[in-house]
Structure formats: C-alpha cells, structure tokens
A = this chain, B = another copy of it.
Amino acid sequence: MEVAEEVLSIAKAARKASQALSYLPTSIKNQVLNQIADELSNNTDYLKRENEKDIDDAHKKGLSAALIDRLTLNDKVIKGMIEGIREVVQLTDPVGETVRMWRRPNNLLVGKVRIPLGVIGIIYESRPNVTVDAASLCLKSGNAVILRGGKEAIHSNRALAGIMQEALKRNDVPEAAIQLIPIVEREAVYEMLKLEDLIDLIIPRGGEELIRAVVERSRIPVIKHYKGVCHIFVDAHADEEMAESVVINSKVQRPGVCNALETLLIHQEIVPSFLPRIVARLEKEGVEVRACEKGRKTVPDLKEANEEDWHQEYLDLILSIKVVSDIDEAINHIAEYGSMHTEAIITSDYSNAQIFLQKVNSSVVLVNASTRFNDGNQLGLGSEIGISTTKLHAFGPMGLNELTTLKFVVYGNGQIRD
C-alpha cells in the first residue's frame, strides 16, 4: 500500500473508533487500562527482547549513548510505565462533566458538557515509554490516538502497541482506539499532518527542530512548547535564605528540563548581600555564572553575560544573572526575553507579589516557590501529556481535561427563533 493510503486508512479507522470511545463507560476504560498494565508486567521479557533489536540497530548505526539510554526498556522503565497506567486509572474521568448550566429568558436550558477531542496524533522521538503514557491518557479521556514514534524504537513500539490492542480487543473496544503508524519513512508524518478532517489535534514531543517541522506543515491544530527560558526575580525585600534555596532548587535539581531556571534577576538593593552569597553557592554546585555589567562590579570575577545569554535555554549548569533597578525592569525583561513558560518572584512584599502575579503572563507564575513546580503532577492535575506555551486551548501543563473540549447542550420544549 502507498504511504498516503495507509496513513489515511489508519486515520479513518481512528475517527470511526472515536465515536464509540466518546461515550464508553469509565469502568470499561479502567478495565482495559488495568489489563494493559497486567500484560506489560506479564510480558516484560518479550518487551526486553523486542527492545534489544532496537538497541542492536542503534549500536550498528553508531547512535549516541544518550539516545540509546532513552531508547532502553529495562525493568525499571517498564515498572514506571505500569505505575503510570495505574495512576491514570485513579484519575477522574473528565468526559461527561457538565461544567456550567443556565436557563435563558425563553426557558431554554443551556449547558456546557465535556467531550473528548476525538482523534489525537502524537509525534515523538526515541522514548518508547511515551507510547504507553500517551495512549493511556488518550484512552482515559475517550480519545482515539495515532502514535508515530521514532524509527529507532520501532520494534519496541510495535510490541507495546500490540499488547495494548490485545487488551482493547478482549474488552470489545475498537482496536483502532490505539494505533501505531508502522511506517518508518518521514513521509508518513507529512501525510498525517494533512488530515484535518480526521485528526483533531497533533502533539509533537521532542526537540525544537521536530516541533518546528510539524508546525510548519500541519493543517491540524498543534499544541506545543518550544522552550523554557525561565526566570526568578529576587526582590529587594526577599528572605535571602529562601531565595537561595529556591534558586538552587530551580537551577540545579534537574538542569536539563524545560522548567529549570535559566536567568536570575536581582533587585539592585539586595545585590550587595545576595549576589556574592548566591554566586558562592552556585559555584559550589558546579554552576557557571554569567552576569551583567552591574553584577560584575559587585562580584568582579564573573563571566560576562551578553545579549545572547538572555535568550538562552541552557538546559545545563549555566545561569545568567542580571541586576535590575526595580520590579518593572524585571517584568519588562521577562516580557522581552521570556518564553512564557515559568517565572517566579521571591519577595516578602505583599504588593510586589500581587503585581508580579498580575503582570507576568507566563503559563505558570509563582511567588516564593521553585520553577520546577511547573508540572502536571506537582500542580495537582495528575499525569500530564505535555506542557503548552501556546495560549490556545491549553497554557501550561496539560492533564486529562486538556484532552477534552466543551460542547453546548440545549434542552428546549419547542422554542423557535423570532
């Protein structure tokens, strides 16, 4: 079969499955999820054998150790997937919730009811655990999913998808609820991105290059996040001990992730005491500090931060520091250089806390807490399917609710329009 034809037939099957899925009882969805978890556990050896084929190919192709690490399905990763599914079982099913209902002057009763989006396409790179994480969130929220993983993980992904489809079949749920595109050519992705009548949402998960390529070609709405240039502003009136602890946690705890701190803004009044203190601690933690001119007057040995640094998502043990003369300068710096991901203020001043929360329009804005809390689990949404830095549909971490939309339902008794 031609690539275009095969992708089209997968998408059509998904669309058809999505109709039945949209009103599938929660109990059945949970039963399928529990059986998937059981079968992953029963088939650990099989999964590791299939994964071994991908690892062998990766070695042959000379892929990097980091990539091979992400590709590997060992007992720990498989256990993590199983635990992830059990957590999704515990989450409240969002489908069917009436979020609001009101009566009109003509006695029409109007409500907004949560329904699945329909068909979701996930385009991702090497991690095979995304196959299971994404599929379980889509199933729980009543969506059909089309998975398009990286070609390096094709054997692992096929094995995982096979186990999930088996569980669907055993419960008389359409197997097309969870489908993997088995075609390794990139053309399959491009064909998928054209099918706006059949697929409702595309979520790309991977590096900026992958995401830009998807956005450029897609006629289907895409929820994405390019990067996180996250800021902390340490205000004049800040508890220095708290500021130190939050800055270190934000920068050091896991520097390679999108909600890690990249630029620290410090009010000039607190610079004399706080800057030397935080620099000493950062250097002790192995962080390279780059500072603006004002900062380098207080701590002369620091490397210079240039214009490029303010745009930078280091994803590494590097931090740029800028001294600002007041909260407005901090807010303006964030508006100019930030990526609308995560920003925090450390302050004991009530009014500055409120100003920061009101004027900074990033997906998560915090007072006196680590930027690392921009995470669906940490904020109480349960498992997340990703973080969005586009404001449409979802802004910030996306949980099950963000995989749904609201339709209007109207109860009448013969009303017509004048």
Which 10 pairs from chain A and chain B are nearest by CB? A369-B412, A249-B416, A393-B393, A366-B410, A391-B405, A221-B392, A372-B417, A242-B414, A364-B408, A368-B412
> A99 vs B178: C-alpha distance in the bound complex, in angstroms?
33
Q: Least Cβ distance of A121 to chain B in Å?
A: 13
Contact of A407 among B245, B395, B414 (CB under 8 A): B395
Nearest to A217 among chain B residues (CB) is B219
In the complex, whether A9 has a CB less than 8 A from a CB of chain B is no
**B379 near A110: Cβ-Cβ < 8 Å:** yes
In the complex, whether A46 has a CB less than 8 A from a CB of chain B is no
In the complex, whether A287 has a CB less than 8 A from a CB of chain B is no
A residues bordering B, Cβ < 8 Å?
19, 22-23, 96, 102, 104, 108, 110, 113, 115-118, 196, 200-201, 215-216, 219, 221-223, 239, 242, 245-246, 249-250, 253, 335, 353, 357-359, 361-370, 372-374, 378-380, 390-393, 395-397, 405-417
Q: Least Cβ distance of A417 to chain B in Å?
A: 4
Known: A245-B416, A414-B245, A415-B369. A215 touches B196 (CB 8 A): yes
Counting every copy of the chain, the complex holds 2
Q: Least Cβ distance of A146 to chain B in Å?
A: 16
Contact of A392 among B116, B366, B393, B407 (CB under 8 A): B393
Q: CB-CB < 8 A to A414: which residues of B?
A: 239, 242, 245-246, 368-369
Q: CB-CB < 8 A to A365: which residues of B?
A: 407-410
Q: CB-CB < 8 A to A96: which residues of B?
A: 358
Nearest to A412 among chain B residues (CB) is B369
Q: CB-CB < 8 A to A250: which residues of B?
A: 416
Which of A196, A250, A369 counts the most B-chain CB atoms under 10 A from its CB? A369
Nearest to A353 among chain B residues (CB) is B411
> A245 vs B412: C-alpha distance in the bound complex, in angstroms?
13
> A22 vs B200: C-alpha distance in the bound complex, in angstroms?
30
**B108 near A373: Cβ-Cβ < 8 Å:** yes
> A335 vs B96: C-alpha distance in the bound complex, in angstroms?
19
Q: Least Cβ distance of A111 to chain B in Å?
A: 9
Q: Least Cβ distance of A310 to chain B in Å?
A: 15
**B359 near A22: Cβ-Cβ < 8 Å:** yes
> A250 vs B417: C-alpha distance in the bound complex, in angstroms?
8
